[in-house]
Amino acid sequence: MQLTGNLEKESNYYDAIYSRGYNTRNYYPLYNETIRLVEKRSIPRKILEIGCGVGDLGKMLLNKGYQYRGFDFSEQAIECSRRLCPAGDFRIGDAYKAESYLPVDYDVAVALEVLEHLDDLKIIENIPAGVHFIASVPDYDDTAHLRIYKDYRKDIIERFSNLLEISDILTLAGEGVDHESKKIFLFYGTRIGRADAPPLEDNAKSHIPEKRINAGRNEPCPCGSGRKYKKCCLK
CATH architecture classification, 8-231: 3-Layer(aba) Sandwich (3.40)
Angle formed at CA 22 by CA 18 and CA 27, multiple of 5 degrees: 125
Q: What is the mean pLDDT of the chain?
A: 86
pLDDT tens digits, residue range 212-227?
555 555 655 544 445 5
What residue ranges do the domains of the chain occupy? Answer: 8-231
Between 211 and 21, residue with greater pLDDT: 21
Which residue, 27, 76, 69, 73, is CA-closest to 49? 69
The more confidently predicted of residues 73 and 177 is 73
Neighbours of 4 (CB within 10 A): 14
Q: Is the pLDDT of residue 96 over 50?
A: yes
Strands 67-72 and 89-92: parallel
Q: Identity (one letter) of the amino acid at 138?
A: P
Mean pLDDT of all residues in 140-144: 94
